[in-house]
Each structure stands twice: as structure tokens, then as C-alpha cells.
Structure 1
Amino acid sequence: MSSSNLAKLEEACVESGSCESSGMLQIAQKALAELIGTYLLVFAGCCSVVLEKQHGNITFPGICLVWGFTVMFLIYTIGHISGAHFNPAVTVTLTILRKFPSNEVPLYIAAHVLGSILASLSLYLLFGTTEKEFFGTVPSGSNIQSLIFEIITTFLLLFVACGLSDKNAFGQLGGISVGLVVIVDVFIAGPVSGASMNPARTIGPAIVMGIYKGIWVYIVGPFVGALLGALTYNLIKTPEKDKLKK
């Protein structure tokens, strides 16, 4: 197809409104993918918490593995559709770095929060959880201690994720690597802050069960940690490698 014919086709597409409709459909599909992904992540991860509290057969290492493996599976399943954010802190950080369109941010955040609420509601109805079996995240010590842990663990998550998305990174093991980082983060921060790293993961259970203790920690911490992690990686990366390869 010649360039003139291609230009005419694009012009006709714009005049008919089909391009705009197609773009809106794609955005809606991505938001739906994020909602489904967030639902499955929160459901699986929090379900392991409930089962451990009610039956004691999951163990803490088991909870860590559930969170990490679920993230891994979902990245490979829908990462090519929506980017597999599942986290408002990730979406906002990528937008600040101009790696994600700002017009899609509200839909993504709404999808994350709604997915978490629906997953939490499902667990609440299935297990009839009590306050002692709360599957959300609350500080085990001081708010400041949990805040620092949330910042550090989310920093690590975004630092690694940005490195894996770099053009100069090695291989196609991003999903596995991110899943392993989540496992490590939950291991080190789980007993202290619950290792949320995700405002939506905390907000859903809090709303469903009406427990809001220290909730600001899980909003401020992940946003600060995510931004610092991404900015730090951008500070040390070496784009000169691209030029050397040409």
C-alpha cells in the first residue's frame, strides 16, 4: 500500500470515528484486564492468609510463595495486554516518568481498587472472616516502622521491574524475576507491615471489613517507594549501550 493510500485510509478512519472507537475499546480491554488481574491477585494472596489463620496449614513461607507465584502467572498471562500493573503506585509512577498515558490512569486505578474490593468481598462471603482473621495489612509495630518497610520493599519491586524492562536487560524472564522479588519482599516485610506494596491491596480488605488502622502507611509508602525505585534505576542506567550496538 502506497503512503498516499495509507494517508487516505487514516483520514477516512478518523472521519468515520472508527479509530477513536477502536482506541476506546482497547483502553476498556486493558482496564478490564487490570481489574481481573487485581481480583485474582488479591483473592489468591489474601485467601492464603485466611486459610493460614483459620486452619494453619499454609504457613508463612506458603503465603509468600502464593503472592509471588500469582504475580508471576498473571504477568505472563495478561502483561502483553495491559502491562500487568495491578497497583496504582506502579501506574502513577510510570505516568510521572512518561512511560504510561495519563488519560488511562483513572481507569487503571479504578480497576485496581474495584478488583481488590470484589476479591475481598468474595473472601468475606466465602469464609465469614472475623476481625481476628483480617486478611488486610496493618502495622504490627509503629506506623513509621511499617512505612519504612513499605517504602523499601516497593522501591525494590520497581527498581527490579524497571531494570527488567530496560532494552539492555537480559532475556525474557521478567515475570519470574518480579515474582521472586515479591516473594522476598513478603518474607522480609510480612511480619512487620504485611508487605502490601500496593494501595489497592490494602484498601479493598479495609473497606470490606471496616478496618482502617494505619491505612495511610499503605498509601504513602508504596507511592514513595515506587517513585524512588524507578527514579533511582533511571539514574544509574546506561543508555549509551544502545548507541554502541548500532
Structure 2
Amino acid sequence: MKKNLFIAEAIGTFALVFAGCGAIVVNESFGGALGHLGVSTVFGLVVMAMIYSVGNVSGAHLNPAVTLGFVFAGRLDKRSIPGYIGSQLIGALAAAAALRLLFPESATLGSTLPGIDLARAFIVEVLLSFVLMFVILNVSTGHMEKGIMAGVAVGGTIALEALVGGPLTGASMNPARSLAPALLSGNLSSIWLYLTAPVVGTWLAHPTCRWIQGPNCCVLKPEGESSEADCNDKSCG
């Protein structure tokens, strides 16, 4: 794998955590200046921006659960897992460290904390992650989130799910986004939920996409070979 791929993934994840978690911290520190709608919009917009910025380089996964979702779907070789997830964790931790430096008074640094009991929170995170990965699989090319509408579709999905799921679980859908601020703020009591539920959700998206788009929808192609033709010129890759 090319080094610039992992650099792009680290920068993209840094931007996601810095902007998204930063929006939560700013909202808490300045009397709700952004509001729930504003915070949700920030998460959607930053993901959309990163897809258009680095989607053609790394695929703009920005999320270990999405990377694993592409592997589950046969879109990405499992040998790529360490590089992708390592880069995402580095970017997320760097962003959380920057937020700690800028907002030392913040108790959470934008950590995801369940607002309902853990059993229901787990189900919510699974469902949110399933919907996110389902959309990604249907608008991406191979394991790449790129193209004219991919950013709008994925960013819009994240914003919508944050609006609904934010009060319930924080609408993480992303182990790196949850782990980094949790580590630097010490809010680790429920971190297992955010490390496992998104992965379960992205795993469930694969058979659903295959069921709808056909048996050739999710297959790993040799490097350089397009898989679009196998989906009758649809974007399911």
C-alpha cells in the first residue's frame, strides 16, 4: 500500500474528530451556541469534505468499522486492515490531543456517552452503523468513497443519523471517533459498546447490499480492475 494512502486516511480522520468532537466541546463551552442541529451538521459536513478531499486517495473510510465493512463485503483485502485502522487511530488521537490542548477544561472532549440503558444503546449503534455502511456500499466504487454524489450521500446520512441518534448514544458509528476522546478524557466506562456495535452493524450491511444489488455486488477485484460492470453500471462497486 502507498504511504500517501495512510497519510490521507490519518488527516481525514483527524479532521473528522477535531471538527466533530470540537463542535461538541464548543457547544458545551459556549452556552449551546451550535445546538444539536449544528453539531450534527458539522459531523456531516466534515465527512463530506473529507470524501471529496481524499476519497480518491484512500477511499476516505475515516472509520475502522467502515474499513472492516469493506473487508466483510469483499471490497478490500484484509491485509490492508492494519494500515487503515492504524492511520485512523493516529489521526483520531492527534485530534483529541489537540482538543485537550485547546480546551483543558472540557470533561469529555466530545466523548460518546449513552443517554439510554446499555442494551438499547447497543442496538441503536448497530442500526445506525448498518444504515451508514449500507449507504456507503451502494454509493462507493470498490472500497473507495468517491464521486460526485458519494460525499453528499454519506455526509447527509451521518448528519441525519446524528440528529436522531445523538441524544441516545452520541451516534458514534465509529470506534476511532469514540476511543480517542474517551482515552484522553478518561471516559472509558462504556467504550466497549462503541468498539463493538459499529462493527456488528457494518457486518450486517454486506449481505443486505448483496441481496439487493445481486451476487456480484461485493467482490474483491484485482488492483486496477473496475468492478462497476458487475453491478450493471450501478455504484455498488
Query: 1:115 is matched with which residue?
Result: 91
Once the two structures are TM-superposed, the CA of residue 129 in structure 1 deviates from its matched residue by 3.1
Query: 2:6 is matched with which residue?
Result: 31
Once the two structures are TM-superposed, the CA of residue 101 in structure 1 deviates from its matched residue by 2.0
Question: CA 1:57/1:102 → structure 2, altered by over 3 Å: closer, same or farther?
Answer: same
Query: Secondary structure in 2 aligned to 1:100?
Result: coil
Given candidates 71, 80, 90, the residue that maps to 2:66 is 90
Give the whole-Å Cα distance in 1 for the aligned partners of 2:231 and 2:10.
41
Does the CA-based 8 Å contact 2:61-2:67 persist in structure 1? yes
Question: CA 1:91/1:243 → structure 2, altered by over 3 Å: closer, same or farther?
Answer: closer
Higher helix share: 1
Query: 1:11 is matched with which residue?
Result: none
Q: Per-residue displacement from partner, 1:182-214 (whole Å, max 9, x unpaired)? A: 011101100010000000000000111111021
Query: 2:159 is matched with which residue?
Result: 183
2:132 matches 1:157: yes
Give the whole-Å Cα distance in 2 for the aligned partners of 1:100 and 1:188.
30
Q: Bigger shift: 133-142 or 50-59?
A: 133-142
2:55 matches 1:54: no
Give the whole-Å Cα distance in 1 for the aligned partners of 2:230 and 2:121.
43
Question: CA 1:121/1:245 → structure 2, altered by over 3 Å: closer, same or farther?
Answer: closer
Once the two structures are TM-superposed, the CA of residue 95 in structure 1 deviates from its matched residue by 1.5
**How many residues are aligned here?**
217
Give the whole-Å Cα distance in 1 for the aligned partners of 2:6 and 2:204.
25
Given candidates 138, 148, 154, the residue that maps to 2:123 is 148
Structure 1: unaligned runs, 5 residues or longer: 1-23
Identity %: 35
2:181 matches 1:205: yes
Letter in 2 for 1:216: W
Which has the larger Rg? 1
2:196 matches 1:220: yes
Letter in 1 for 2:33: N
Question: CA 1:198/1:245 → structure 2, altered by over 3 Å: closer, same or farther?
Answer: closer
Query: 1:233 is matched with which residue?
Result: 209
Once the two structures are TM-superposed, the CA of residue 98 in structure 1 deviates from its matched residue by 2.1
Once the two structures are TM-superposed, the CA of residue 235 in structure 1 deviates from its matched residue by 1.4
Question: CA 1:211/1:162 → structure 2, altered by over 3 Å: closer, same or farther?
Answer: same
Does the CA-based 8 Å contact 2:162-2:170 persist in structure 1? yes
Question: CA 1:74/1:235 → structure 2, altered by over 3 Å: closer, same or farther?
Answer: same
Give the whole-Å Cα distance in 2 for the aligned partners of 1:47 and 1:147.
24
Please tell me the root mean square deviation across aligned C-alpha atoms, in Å.
2.2
Does the CA-based 8 Å contact 2:21-2:109 persist in structure 1? no
Give the whole-Å Cα distance in 2 for the aligned partners of 1:223 and 1:164.
19
Question: CA 1:110/1:242 → structure 2, altered by over 3 Å: closer, same or farther?
Answer: closer
Does the CA-based 8 Å contact 2:22-2:109 persist in structure 1? no
TM-score by length of 2: 0.86
Give the whole-Å Cα distance in 2 for the aligned partners of 1:181 and 1:91.
17
Segments of 4+ moved more than 6 angstroms: 243-246
Structure 2: unaligned runs, 5 residues or longer: 218-227
